[in-house]
Amino acid sequence: MLQQLVNALLLGGIYALVGVGFSLIYGVMNIINLAHGALIMLAAYTTFWVFQLYGVDPFASIVISMALFFVIGFILQKYIVNRVVGQNVLMTMVLTYGFELIAVNFALYFWHADYRAVNPTYAGTGLEIGDVVVPYIKLGILTVAIVLTSLLYLFMTRTKIGNAIQATSLNKDAAQLVGIDIQYIYSFTYGLSAALAAAAGTLIAIVYTVTPSMEGGFLGKAFVIAILGGLGNSLGAIVGGVVLALAETFGVVVFGAAYQQIVGYVIFLLVLIVRPCGLVGRRFFSEL
Amino acid sequence: MTLVVKDLNVAYGDTQVLWDINISVAKGEVIALVGSNGAGKTTLLRTISGLNRPKSGQISINGQDLTQATPAQRVRLGVAHVPEGRQLFAGLGVRENILIGAYLRTAGQEVRRDLDFMFETFPEVAARRNQQAGTLSGGEQQMVALARGLMSRPQVLLIDELSLGLAPVVVEKLFNLIRNVQKELGIGVLVVEQDVEMAFEMADRGYILDTGMIVKEGRGEELLGDDAIRKAYLGI
């Protein structure tokens, strides 16, 4: 039981990162970014190839991936998505779904549907505390997830641009009236979200297999996590990630492995029915 | 003249809402813009601050043409707009709301000095600086909105519906505060107001906007004494 709890918390770190970026984009631009899973997938491949070809440790390459995906996300928003921000939801969904199709087929064409894995030398070793085993890798992943989400929190609350992102998400007219260039903020936000997706993709590549079709599952999870935390409340996504991880882990214990995915979605539906603003809805944020 | 609006025409799609508007606000002047609901007052302010685009006409500040400028560029050149209904960032703290008004300014020391000045000017707000802005009363929110507008060190402050949802005592107090601050900082103020009597009493000059056209302009007391205006807007 204790082992399950530890597993769930370790998984929750990854899930939090998966959800945070997705929620951030919705909160600031009201865009459901269907390309989020594809960004995670591409980042996982980046980690895989950098490891395979140059032997760079994934925990080191995460910094490079995040920087690279920040730039990609920024450019994508600046030159393409900014043209449809504020249009109806369907328009932005079609556009981001288009990105997803392109990314998945790109990966299929160049890298084929093979399952690939990153295997650092320290894989398989772990810390034993009584009966509980904590693999070093997962401990490292959880640490990275905690550090990144804390940094995001500090960035959003303590920096000028973080405040501008929050202001834009709360009131676009007023943001423009104090001199905030909201197009720039949109680009920055997409870059930030892509960087977080890259971090998630890197961590996922370390513990799971990498394949072009992995994006669908993680897009679905991003959605569930974001709703659990309160859509648009990026910090609530941390709670959403941990809740989903707990639900999946203990769902397997109670109902069997076949029900792992279902448990998450059932909780998702229940939350939508009972508490549509999410488990930790914040006042004045994401009021729909 | 600090702010000059010349022959301004504004339309939403095919529907024209402002026709050949000519107004000006000089340094140190308080100007009242009065008119019934739907006359186009808010549209005029939104066009001056760049949230709406004009069909034709010109807007300039200190001789510099603003017509093609983005809202951010206009803030930089000295236009601040306190929008209708305050439009605070409800989820951010009071202090953050005021501070973000200085978003484009880089001199940290001066900004901090100005923030202290705002807290001196609006002591009610100072006492609540760490609360979320959405939890404040209407009058306090209006003070935060005014402080936020002033933090950009504007040449001209546009204020939309100062009195919206506020008790008359509060409005009077706010008007006096604006008068004092405006004199101290030497800026021009263009205030849109429903309370015609108070507006013209406080203002140096006034304009009356009716279905998208300026139908009358003059000095405050002149307009107050005008029989037609008294009939139409004061019901006397």
Average pLDDT over all residues of chain A: 89
Closest residue, chain B, to A171 (C-alpha): B89
Pair A178, B101: CB distance under 8 Å: yes
**For residue A180, which residues of chain B lie inside 8 Å, CB to CB?**
72, 100, 103
Q: Which amino acid is at B32?
A: A
For each of chain A's 288 residues, which pLDDT tens digit applies? Answer: 788 888 898 899 999 999 999 999 998 998 999 999 999 999 999 999 999 999 899 999 999 999 999 999 999 999 999 999 888 889 999 999 999 999 999 999 999 888 888 888 777 788 888 888 888 888 899 999 999 999 999 999 899 999 999 999 999 999 999 999 999 999 999 999 999 999 999 999 988 889 888 888 899 999 899 988 887 777 788 899 999 999 998 888 888 888 888 888 888 888 888 887 777 766 555 443
Residues A34 and A103: their CA atoms lie apart, in Å, by 12
pLDDT in tens, A194-246: 999 999 999 999 888 898 888 888 999 998 999 888 877 777 888 999 999 99
B151 phi, psi to nearest 5 deg = -65, -15
Average pLDDT over all residues of chain B: 92
Domains of chain A: 2-274 (1.10.3470)
A279 phi, psi to nearest 5 deg = -70, -35
Closest residue, chain A, to B157 (C-alpha): A177
Helix, strand or coil, per DSSP, at residue B200: helix
Crossing angle of helices A214-229 and A89-111, rounded to 10°: 150
**pLDDT greater than 90 at residue B72:** yes
Are residues A166 and B92, on separate chains, in Cβ contact within 8 Å?
Answer: yes
Are residues A176 and B132, on separate chains, in Cβ contact within 8 Å?
Answer: no
**pLDDT greater than 90 at residue B231:** no
Residues A46 and A71: their CA atoms lie apart, in Å, by 14
pLDDT reported for residue A124: 76
Closest residue, chain A, to B80 (C-alpha): A177
Interface TM-score (ipTM) > 0.85: yes
**For residue A177, which residues of chain B lie inside 8 Å, CB to CB?**
49, 51, 71, 75, 80-81, 83, 87
Residues B143 and B97: their CA atoms lie apart, in Å, by 11
pLDDT reported for residue A285: 59
Q: Cα B63 from chain centroid?
A: 20
**pLDDT greater than 70 at residue B216:** yes
**pLDDT greater than 70 at residue B6:** yes
**pLDDT greater than 70 at residue B48:** yes
Using the Cβ of A173 and the Cβ atoms of chain B, whether some distance falls under 8 Å is answered with yes
pLDDT reported for residue A72: 97
Nearest Cα neighbor of A148 from A247, A235, A240, A58 is A235
Residues B104 and A175: their CA atoms lie apart, in Å, by 12
Closest residue, chain B, to A180 (C-alpha): B72
Q: Could you tell me which residues come within 8 angstroms of residue B144 by beta carbon, excluding any fewer than 6 positions away?
A: B86, B88, B94, B97, B98, B122, B125, B133, B136
Tokens of A109: 């064409």
By Cβ distance, the residue of A160, A171, A179 closest to B89 is A171
By Cβ distance, the residue of B87, B91, B101 closest to A285 is B91
CA distance B97 to chain A (A): 9
- Interface A–B counts its CB contacts (< 8 A) at 70
Interface probe with A: pick from B92, B99, B157, most Cβ of A within 10 Å? B92
Residue A193: CB atoms within 10 A of its CB come to 30
Interface probe with B: pick from A161, A166, A178, most Cβ of B within 10 Å? A178
The DSSP element (H or E) to which B9 belongs, if any, is: strand B3-12
Closest residue, chain A, to B77 (C-alpha): A179
Please state the rounded mean pLDDT for residues B56-60: 96
Are residues B83 and A174, on separate chains, in Cβ contact within 8 Å?
Answer: yes
> Domain-by-domain residue ranges, chain B?
3-78+154-234, 89-153
pLDDT reported for residue A119: 81
Q: Is residue B184 exposed (0-12), middle (13-18) or buried (19+ Cβ within 10 Å)?
A: exposed
Residues B178 and B175: their CA atoms lie apart, in Å, by 5
Please state the rounded mean pLDDT for residues B63-86: 95
**For residue B90, which residues of chain A lie inside 8 Å, CB to CB?**
170-171, 283-284
Q: Could you tell me which residues come within 8 angstroms of residue A216 by beta carbon, excluding any fewer than 6 positions away?
A: A37
**For residue B81, which residues of chain A lie inside 8 Å, CB to CB?**
177
Q: Is residue A84 exposed (0-12), middle (13-18) or buried (19+ Cβ within 10 Å)?
A: middle
Q: Which of A16-25, B108-117, B195-204 has the lowest mean pLDDT?
A: B195-204
Are residues A177 and B75, on separate chains, in Cβ contact within 8 Å?
Answer: yes
pLDDT reported for residue A288: 36
**Integer angstrom CA distances of residue A232 from A26, A40, A100, A279, B204:** 5, 19, 21, 13, 46
pLDDT reported for residue B227: 81
pLDDT reported for residue A263: 86
Q: Which amino acid is at B66?
A: L
**pLDDT greater than 80 at residue B32:** yes
**For residue A28, which residues of chain B lie inside 8 Å, CB to CB?**
none
pLDDT reported for residue A284: 57
pLDDT in tens, B134-170: 999 999 999 999 999 999 999 999 999 988 888 888 8
**pLDDT greater than 50 at residue B49:** yes
Q: Which CATH architecture has domain B3-78+154-234?
A: 3-Layer(aba) Sandwich (3.40)
pLDDT reported for residue A276: 78
**For residue A235, which residues of chain B lie inside 8 Å, CB to CB?**
none
